[in-house]
């Protein structure tokens, strides 16, 4: 038996549609996986980034809280220092005024002292003049008791001199009394 | 081989292109920037600069208006009187002529009680003004204003009323008037700032602390009279305006 040669006749080509669609589907799947992977990486990175920012924010918040406390303390100290400065300046002003008043009193006292010294000196001079007047008058009385022993014109001249001396003493005394009168 | 290469290319494009393109277009969020190690600004805010307002600080807590005022004790041959004055430079005081009149000795002290050694004294013929030169430096002095003040302008008087404490009083300029005491040539300023005997020679200042006049008298209705700034400037500019003061 002889077998008839088999002639293979090419069949119809398979339709490309389903396989190409599957390929594109695969590509789409891979792309989706890629995008998903990118989103996952991004999310992880942002989470890490957010954690770092939060840590930094908390560190700064602690620093702010600490600085606020220091600021409050410094503000309190500043207010206390201002109060002390105000008190000190008021005290300086008081002391300057007290010094000025004492200086005024000192000068005024010195002026009174100078005046009293002048008055005392004038009183001494007046007393001396009055004393000379009294001495002169006593001398004159003595001369008059023994008038026959002296020349009349000499006695008159001496009397005039004593009277002039006493007039001057009286005027000085009057001026002094007037000066002392309140 | 050709098919596997094509597949790899497709896979690469499928992985790289969508993410890159979508991220670049803003559809997908970009990757975060690295967190900086320090976010504190290097330059301090301008408003918090330590130097801001430093000019207004006083070295000892006293205002500039207080630091430039002086108390003048006029020791006459028979009596004692006090007045006020103010510095216009390191060694020059301005006061009233009647404050330094008939003087045997002038004793000047500052806001904090320091005594200032006095040199020559000169008085103006046509105004109740006097210039006292000091050998010791004066602690502070103000600027002179540019023009005389107008009615309603604020005025601050700093001096030693009744020879007492350094006092700062405030008021307003009421206007100008003829000098009722005939001590000054020209018009003088009338203000309602309270003054007392002893305030004579006090500086009258504007709201910027500049000199606008010199107190020289008080009226019967408790207003104050000032030698205006223009008169002060005129006599200061005239070399012949001042003559040495005569003692008692």
Averaged pLDDT, B120-138: 95
Asked if the Cβ–Cβ distance from A38 to B79 is below 8 Å, we say no
**Stretch B50-65: mean pLDDT:** 70
Q: What are phi and psi of B65, to 5 degrees?
A: -65, -30
CA B71 from centroid of its chain's CA atoms: 19
Interface test with B, best of A34, A98, A101 (most B CBs within 10 A): A34
Domain extents in chain B:
64-140+238-244, 154-230
Q: Which residues contact B177 (CB under 8 A, 6 or more apart)?
A: B187, B188, B189, B190, B225
For B190, the 3-state DSSP assignment is strand
d(Cα A93, Cα A24) in Å, to the nearest integer? 97
B205 vs chain A: nearest CA distance in angstroms? Answer: 21
Contacts with B23 (C-beta within 8 Å, 6 or more apart), sequence order:
A38, B29, B30
**Residue A12 domain flag:** no
**What integer is the mean pLDDT of B26-39?**
86
pLDDT of residue A4: 52
Cβ within 8 Å, pair B28-A38: yes
- Under an 8 A CB cutoff, do B14 and A30 touch? yes
Fold of the CATH domain B64-140+238-244: Thrombin, subunit H (2.40.10)
pLDDT confidence tier of residue B53, bands split at 50, 70 and 90: very low
Record: contact A111-B18, CB cut-off 8 A: no
DSSP letter at B221 equals T
Q: What are B66's two structure tokens?
A: 């207080």
* pLDDT over 60 (residue B220): yes
To the question of domain B154-230 being in CATH 3.40.640.10, the answer is no
Query: Does the predicted interface ipTM exceed a cut of 0.85?
Result: no
Instruction: Please answer yes or no on whether A30 and B15 come within 8 Å at the CB atom.
Output: yes
Q: To the nearest 10°, the Cα dihedral for B226, B227, B232, B238?
A: -170
Decide whether B64-140+238-244 matches B154-230 in CATH topology.
Answer: yes
Residue A182, pLDDT above cutoff 80:
no
How many structural domains compose chain A? 1
Neighbouring CB atoms inside 10 A of A135's CB total 12
Q: Using DSSP bridges, classify how beta strands B69-75 and B187-191 pair: parallel, antiparallel or unpaired.
A: unpaired
- The Cα B188–Cα B96 span in angstroms is 14
Tell whether B11 lies on the interface with A, counting CB pairs under 8 A.
yes
Beta bridge partners of B131: B94, B122
Question: What whole-number percentage of chain A has pLDDT above 70?
Answer: 91
pLDDT (0 to 100) of residue B6: 58
- Taking an 8 Å cut-off on Cβ atoms, the answer to whether A49 and B35 are in contact is yes
CB contact under 8 A, B32 and A49: yes
pLDDT at residue A15 is higher than 70: no
Closest partner residue to B18 (CB to CB) among A31, A42, A52 is A31
Q: Is A99 on the interface with B (CB under 8 A)?
A: yes
- Distances from the Cα of A131 to the Cαs of A122, A136, A156, A168, B97, in angstroms? 14, 8, 21, 12, 48
A residues 101-140 lying closer than 8 A (beta carbon) to B: 101, 103-104, 107-108, 111
- Please state the φ and ψ torsions of residue B157, each to the nearest 5 degrees: -110, 130
Q: What percent of chain B has pLDDT over 70?
A: 84
Chain B residues closer than 8 Å to A100 by CB: 71, 73, 82, 109, 113, 160, 163
The DSSP result for chain A, as a single string, is -PPPPP-PPP-PPPPSHHHHHHHHHHHHHHHHHHHHHHHHHHHHHHHHHHHHHHHHHHHHHHHHHHHHHHHHHHHHHHHHHHHHHHHHHHHHHHHHHHHHHHHHHHHHHHHHHHHHHHHHHHHHHHHHHHHHHHHHHHHHHHHHHTGGGS-HHHHHHHHHHHHHHHHHHHHHHHHHHHHH--
What residue in A sits closest to B166 (Cα-Cα)? A93
- B229-238: pLDDT as tens digits: 999 999 999 9
Alpha carbons B89 and B135: distance in angstroms, whole number: 12
Tell me if A30 and B39 make a contact (CB, 8 A cut-off): no
Q: Which helix (DSSP H) or strand (DSSP E) does residue B215 occupy?
A: strand B211-218
pTM, entire model:
0.74
Question: In terms of Cα–Cα distance, which of B134, B117, B110, B156 is closest to A92?
Answer: B110
- A32-41, A144-153, B9-18: the lowest-pLDDT one: B9-18
Closest CA to B224 of B184, B175, B153: B175
Phi, psi of B168 (to 5 degrees): -115, 120
- The answer on pLDDT for B19 being more than 50 is yes
Residues A95, B113: C-beta atoms closer than 8 Å: yes
**A5 found inside a domain:** no
pLDDT of A45 over the 50 cut = yes
Are B130 and B187 in contact by the 8 Å Cβ rule? The answer is no
* Residue B246 DSSP SS3: coil
3-class SS of residue B187: strand
pLDDT in tens, B143-162: 999 999 999 999 999 999 99
Is A176 contained in some domain? yes
What domain range is A145 assigned to? 27-180
């Amino acid at each position: 038996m002889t077998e008839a040669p088999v002639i293979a006749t090419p069949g119809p080509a398979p339709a490309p549609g389903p396989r190409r669609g599957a390929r594109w589907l695969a590509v789409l799947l891979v792309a989706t996986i890629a995008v998903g992977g990118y989103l996952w990486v991004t999310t992880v990175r942002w989470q890490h980034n957010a954690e770092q920012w939060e840590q930094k924010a908390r560190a700064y918040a602690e620093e702010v809280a600490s600085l606020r406390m220091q600021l409050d303390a410094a503000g309190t100290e500043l207010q206390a220092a201002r109060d002390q400065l105000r008190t000190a300046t008021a005290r300086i002003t008081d002391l300057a005024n007290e010094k000025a008043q004492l200086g005024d009193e000192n000068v005024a006292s010195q002026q009174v002292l100078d005046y009293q010294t002048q008055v005392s000196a004038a009183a001494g001079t007046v007393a001396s003049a009055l004393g000379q007047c009294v001495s002169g008058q006593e001398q004159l009385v003595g001369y008059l008791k023994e008038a026959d022993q002296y020349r009349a014109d000499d006695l008159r001249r001496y009397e005039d001199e004593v009277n002039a001396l006493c007039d001057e003493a009286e005027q000085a005394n009057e001026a002094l009394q007037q000066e002392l009168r309140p | 081989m050709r098919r596997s290469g094509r597949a790899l290319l497709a896979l690469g494009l499928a992985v790289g292109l969508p993410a890159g393109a979508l991220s670049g277009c803003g559809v997908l969020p970009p990757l975060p920037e690295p967190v900086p190690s320090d976010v504190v600004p290097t330059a301090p805010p301008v408003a918090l600069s330590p130097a801001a307002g430093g000019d207004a600080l006083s070295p000892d807590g006293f205002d500039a208006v207080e630091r430039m005022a002086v108390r003048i004790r006029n020791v006459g041959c028979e009596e004692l009187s006090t007045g006020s004055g103010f510095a216009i430079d390191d060694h020059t005081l301005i006061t009233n002529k009647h404050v330094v009149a008939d003087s045997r000795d002038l004793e000047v002290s500052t806001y904090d009680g320091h005594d200032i050694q006095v040199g020559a004294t000169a008085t103006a013929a046509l105004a109740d003004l006097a210039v006292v030169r000091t050998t010791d430096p004066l602690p502070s002095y103000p600027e002179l204003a540019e023009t005389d003040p107008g009615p309603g302008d604020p005025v601050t008087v700093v001096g030693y009323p009744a020879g007492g404490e350094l006092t700062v009083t405030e008021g307003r300029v009421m206007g100008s008037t003829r000098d009722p005491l005939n001590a000054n040539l020209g018009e003088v300023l009338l203000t309602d700032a309270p003054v007392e005997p002893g305030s004579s020679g006090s500086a009258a200042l504007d709201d910027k602390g500049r000199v606008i006049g010199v107190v020289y008298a008080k009226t019967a209705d408790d207003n104050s009279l000032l030698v205006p700034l223009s008169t002060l400037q005129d006599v200061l500019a005239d070399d012949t305006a001042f003559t040495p003061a005569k003692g008692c």
